Amino acid sequence: MKPSLKTSISSLELSNPTVLASGILGNTGEALLRVAKAGAGAVTTKSVSLEPRKGHNNPTVIELEHGFINAMGLPNPGVEKFLKEIEIYKNSSVSKKVLIIASIVGDRISDYVEVALKLGKIPHALELNISCPNVETGLIFGRDPLNASELVKEVKANTELPVIVKLTPNADKLIEIAEEVEKAGADAISAINTLGPGMVIDIEAGKPVLSNKFGGLSGEVIKPIAVRCIYEIAQNVKIPVIGIGGISDGKDAAEFLMAGASAVGIGTAVKAHGISVFKKVCSELSEFMQRKRFKNIEELRGIALRG
């Protein structure tokens, strides 16, 4: 019999564990619908802020041998405008089966709260992005357990939606932060955001390639760090974890699930290989589970923690 790929993240039921990670194809309702129809179990929007943001000047993304480096600088049209895109998604019947997670970001707690209030119950869940390496304020919450905890408490007090908190690998107190956000009421954790900051220099021009000079690394190159982060987070909290970082095939997904993740976020691989990656990851994961006689995701989840 074919294994079941169903999974859940808090109250969110997913038909399979693949989730479109924030930042790729998450700018419009139409693009999010394309990803949902291509087989994702859930989709996450690009991070949205209270006011529109232009982002950094080009070049903002560079392809490397085994990944990407980006310093987009949070470009987005602001929550008022973005709400319409989420509504486009919600008005499609696909949204009943493939849930939409709104990634939100701010410079201060009141920004996150206002964005959450404006979004109301339109998305199915909120993801608090406290981990963007490309803006000064991105790490105020992501690197400090107390700030992260305060933020989660305030947002939780102002929304009825499940709250997922996206953590950064660029924090020396990762475990403490995970524990604090759990205590503050977070419903789930997603990890990791991009690694860094890193830098690439154009040796012909003798200057950094990114206009922002520094950027966050994503893709295959960061996978072992991401797996370790998920393993350590899952060892220390009970809330579900969405594992993200360099996942592009069924084996990668199995690795994150074994490290304790309940679902897997896919971002850079969509950029590199297209939206067929969701079906590919699911069919390869299913084959792997069948070969190893895992009947469902729950049997696979966290076995490396116990092994």
Residues at the contact surface with ligand RRO, assessed by CB under 6 A: 23, 47, 70-74, 129, 131-134, 193-194, 216
- Least Å from the CB of residue 9 to ligand RRO: 19
23 vs 39, beta carbon nearer ligand RRO: 23
Minimum CB–partner distance for residue 257 and ligand RRO (Å): 23
By C-beta, is 7 or 70 nearer to ligand RRO? 70
Which of 207, 220, 212, 198 lies closest to 268 in space, CA to CA? Answer: 220
C-beta closer to ligand RRO: residue 95 or 134? 134
Structure tokens at 105: 């970001």
7's tokens: 């999974």
Q: How far is the CB of 51 from ligand RRO (least distance, A)?
A: 14
Residue among 216 and 260 whose Cβ is closer to ligand RRO: 216
Question: Which C-beta is closer to ligand RRO: that of 26 or that of 39?
Answer: 26
114 contacts: CB under 8 Å, gap ≥ 6: 50, 79, 106
Q: Which is nearer to ligand RRO, 74 or 300 (CB)?
A: 74
* Local structure of residue 44 (DSSP, 8 states): E
Tokens 């600088």 identify what position?
A: 73
Structure tokens at 214: 């520094």
What is the spatial distance between Cα 5 and Cα 135, in angstroms, rounded to a whole number?
A: 36
Active-site entry in 71, 100, 130, 132: 132
Minimum distance of ligand RRO from residue 46's CB (angstroms):
7
In terms of DSSP bridges, do strands 214-218 and 195-199 run parallel, antiparallel, or are they unpaired? antiparallel
Q: Is 132 a catalytic residue?
A: yes
Shortest Å distance, C-beta 193 to ligand RRO: 5
With CA atoms as reference, report the closest residue to 26 among 51, 13, 4, 45: 45
Task: Please name the residues in contact with 123: beta carbons below 8 A apart, sequence gap of 6 or more.
Answer: 45, 86, 90, 100, 101, 102, 161
To ligand RRO, the closest distance from the beta carbon of 73 in angstroms equals 5
Residue among 16 and 193 whose Cβ is closer to ligand RRO: 193
DSSP per-residue string spanning 157-221: TT-SS-EEEEPPSS-TTHHHHHHHHHHTT-SEEEE---EEEEE-EETTTTEESSTTSEEEEESGG
Angle at CA of residue 9, ends 173 and 66, nearest 5°: 60
Distances (CA, A) of 12 to 4, 31, 96, 97, 262: 16, 21, 11, 10, 11
Tokens representing 127?
């993801």
**HSE, side-chain direction, 13 A CA sphere, residue 150:** 10
Q: How far is the CB of 56 from ligand RRO (least distance, A)?
A: 7
**Which residues are annotated as catalytic?**
132
